[in-house]
Amino acid sequence: MDLAEPGGKGIYLKVGESQKGTVNIILEKVHVSGSAYHGIHISDCVLRDKCGGGMGGGGDGSPASISAHLANVKIESVGYGAFDGDGIWIDECGEGSIYTTVIDSLFSRVGADGIELDEGNKGDVTAQIIRSRFVDTGNYCDPTVLKKCISKRQSEEELRN
């Protein structure tokens, strides 16, 4: 668990800043449930959770690529204790690419994305999702879920006082 960030994570893997080549991660028959933030977070970003997603996002990382193979993985009831908590989040902000294969896996009751793959530099993202299910994901966008996080709108009179 990554205790330095809000909400905690089920599994947190950090790629070393000087890592080269390809970092291979194989998760088989893994079950993650009940984490408040990401179920699994694989990060190649010096800014950890503060990295900007997508091409040109904030942060930097190692020259390495990330290859993640998940088979018979079950991630459920995660991401409801911190905004934008994904089932699995792979964040690659260096020169490398992301290669992901997910087979026979389940992402259920995840607050944000079942799987989020962010390439913040010039690398590629390649994903194969085979016989996997995404059930009841993305509810953090639901206004009834977010209502307790949004402060009430103040009137102009309240703002002047």
Question: How many angstroms separate the CA atoms of 72 and 132, rounded?
Answer: 9
Question: How many angstroms separate the CA atoms of 110 and 115, rounded?
Answer: 10
pLDDT confidence bin for 161, thresholds 50/70/90 = low
- pLDDT tens for each residue of 35-60: 989 999 999 988 766 676 544 456 78
Choose between 73 and 161: higher pLDDT.
73
Is pLDDT at 65 greater than 80 in this prediction? Answer: yes
Is pLDDT at 83 greater than 80 in this prediction? Answer: no
First-last CA distance in the chain: 44
- pLDDT tens for each residue of 100-120: 999 999 999 999 999 999 988
What is the pLDDT at residue 8? Answer: 77
What is the pLDDT at residue 47? Answer: 78
- pLDDT tens for each residue of 107-159: 999 999 999 999 888 899 999 999 999 999 988 766 666 666 656 655 455 54
Q: Are 157 and 129 in contact (CB under 8 A)?
A: no
